[in-house]
Amino acid sequence: MVAAAPLIDVEHLNVRFGRQHVLRDITLSVPRGQTLAIIGESGCGKTVLLKTIIGLIPPTSGRIVFDGRPLADLPEREISDLRTRFGFVFQNAALFDSLTVSENILFPLKQHDRGQPAEHERAMVGLLTEVGLPKTVLSKRPAELSGGMRKRVGLARALIMRPEVVLYDEPTTGLDPIMTDVINELMIRTRERYEVTSVIVTHDMTTARKVADRVVMLYPLGRLASDESQILYDGPPEGLDKSKDRRVTQFVRGEAGDRMTELSEQGEE
């Protein structure tokens, strides 16, 4: 039996901003239906990788292939159409402050002129129920909602177009443990109900262990030798604690380790 082609292929990806090299020779494939968590400390390029996958940041070299089509070969109009196959859940929900919850959720449908208003309303109410919010929030504005409620509205907006891929950027940041678990459960339900492929950027090891099928850990280039891979770990969540790379185990256990010495040396410079 021939294995299915990956839905997302990242091939020898490099991203620079001026002199700052953020991603170096990243190669990975994401099969259809997989839930991949990308972990690593701040500054290692996790969110840059996420935005490059969706075409918001162009590679300096290398390429992104989605469903067999290299993004660099597509005209902007086709890339725009392709993005409708993605749902993006931003770190702080990124809701429009001037719009109501209803207007925020429906924004992608109206922007892409999909379906009829009656269909929009039914889809919106259904999604609101799925993310555990009452219909009374529809007339509210984001400032009137708690952090957890805004995250769930952001998830509903990401799902309104029925995407094939959902990208999550720090979906549980700033939430208490109970609301973090609510978001984790919603990500699992979303995967099961819609059979989506998911890529989750997170610092939260509880999220990575509970939700992901596979974990990739990136490391900041400034602390790597020129011949070292930026990917320190690529495997199942249960293998993280067994990694022979001390940098991996220190990160997943939340241990400062050698970082205290490094920070002290930086302070002396």
Angle value at C-alpha 98, between 54 and 142, nearest 5 degrees: 75
Residue range 53-68: average pLDDT? 93
pLDDT of residue 262: 62
Q: Work out the number of other CB atoms within 10 angstroms of the CB of residue 70.
A: 12
CA atoms of 111 and 246, how far apart (whole Å): 47
Residue range 195-200: average pLDDT? 94
**pLDDT at residue 4 tops 60:** no
Confidence of residue 110 (pLDDT cuts 50, 70, 90): confident
Question: Rounded to 5 degrees, what are φ and ψ at 33?
Answer: 90, -10
Tell me the pLDDT tens digit for each residue of 121-131. Answer: 888 999 999 89
CA atoms of 208 and 68, how far apart (whole Å): 27
Confidence of residue 82 (pLDDT cuts 50, 70, 90): confident
Question: Rounded to 5 degrees, what are φ and ψ at 109?
Answer: -65, -45
Amino acid at 230: Q
Tell me the pLDDT tens digit for each residue of 227-262. Answer: 999 999 999 999 999 999 999 999 998 887 666 656
User: For residue 151, what are the contacts with CB-CB under 8 A and spacing of at least 6?
Assistant: 89, 93, 171, 172, 175, 179, 183
Residue pair 105/46 in contact by the 8 Å Cβ criterion: no
